[in-house]
Amino acid sequence: MKFDLEQIRSLIDVVGETNVTELTIESGEEKITIKKAPPSLSTTVELPHYQVAAPAPAARVIDMTPEAGKKAGEESSNGNNGWLAINSPMVGTFYRASSPTAKPFVDVGDVIASGQTVCIIEAMKLMNDLPAEISGRVVKVCVDNGSTVEYGQPLFMVDPRA
């Protein structure tokens, strides 16, 4: 069966009017794939204290569990240790370094300054640098590199007394 122009236009209209992002139809040796382009995004993201970064980060795994991140957040909220959390400002993918071969922005034991980039959060194909809003010594990395993080989830624990 050959697809005619009217059938193709109808399929494009269906994809355009629904939440479907990709449609593939095969008939014999004929195959048509229609993909909806994502909404266009500007080259900068206007969020307080965040900038778009271009490098594609790599997945490097550290030995932490999501339960450890939750526990770290609980320690911070109930006042134990005096640690403060650097929380995720958005839902996205957490990266500790700017590329597969780069060193992490920060490691446990590093002293950070307010405004210093501590990680990248990828959201909607945009790389967002995350600057620290507090100064101190990093005492814990709460999530694995390459993990999906939620809004408000603790990423790092910082001892502001250091």
**Residue 148 CB-density burial (10 A; 0-12 exposed, 13-18 middle, 19+ buried):** middle
**Tens digit of each residue's pLDDT (9 = 90 or more) over 47-80:** 444 444 444 444 333 334 445 445 544 444 445 5
- In eight-state DSSP terms, residue 14 is H
- pTM, full prediction: 0.52
User: What structural domains and CATH numbers belong to the chain?
Assistant: 5-35 (no CATH), 51-159 (2.40.50.100)
157 neighbors 139 (Cβ within 8 angstroms): yes
End-to-end CA distance of the chain: 72
- In eight-state DSSP terms, residue 82 is G
User: Quick count: other Cβ atoms within 10 Å of Cβ 108?
Assistant: 13
